Amino acid sequence: MGCDVLEIKRAFQEVGVIHTSDAKYNYVAQITRPFLQAALAGEREVPEQEPIAEAWLAVALFNNEGLRSLKDIIWTADAIEHSIPNYDETSWAFLRLRRRGWLAIDGEMYDLTPEGRRAVNEIVDRGESFWLDWDYEQWKKNGRPVLPKRTRPIKKLEEWISENPPPGDE
């Protein structure tokens, strides 16, 4: 019906049904927030991460327009890759996105800038799903679910990021 995962989650919250894992995402956001804020303020050096971290969090931000909380971004990242980014991955990705001019920050809320949104839209194919799909043939063959490691749009963005470092990283 055109709804994405966050829209569905928000609809459930509006009618009083809270996703049981919200506490987990609140907890991860609480742990991540001070590390992220210190990194963005230049008070903490973040170890280099794999390009997938930047691609993954860019797609999590791209998936919904508008400023969003760190908890919602982490929730979306988990929904996309079935994994939760750690505080170094999040900090490193946000620093790189900011250096590219792609990260909008308003207090503790985040989004892609219009430039970042346009760039991601040009790099990835919107016809392909950002969400991991179960490989049902492998599931039947192996008797257990098998997920691909990354979606094609994230792979495309990861490749582009690897070839195009942000200013200051050359």
Please tell me the distance from the alpha carbon of residue 3 to that of residue 1, in angstroms, as a whole number: 6
- Rank 30-44, 50-64, 74-88, 148-162 by mean pLDDT and report only the highest: 30-44
Query: How long a stretch of residues is the chain?
Result: 170
Mean pLDDT rounded to a whole number for the chain: 82
Per-residue pLDDT tens over the stretch 53-112: 999 999 999 988 899 999 999 999 988 877 899 999 999 999 999 999 999 999 999 999
Return the half-sphere exposure (C-beta side, CA atoms, 13 A cut-off) of residue 21. Answer: 11
Distance, in Å, from the CA atom of 150 to the CA atom of 148, rounded to the nearest integer, reads 6
For residues 7 and 15, which has the higher predicted lDDT (pLDDT)?
7
pLDDT at residue 146 is higher than 60: no
**SS3 call for 70:** helix
- In one-letter notation, the amino acid at residue 113 is T
pLDDT value for 157: 87
pTM for the full model? 0.76
Amino acid at 75: W
Region of residue 42 (phi > 0: left; psi between -120 and 50: alpha; otherwise: beta): left
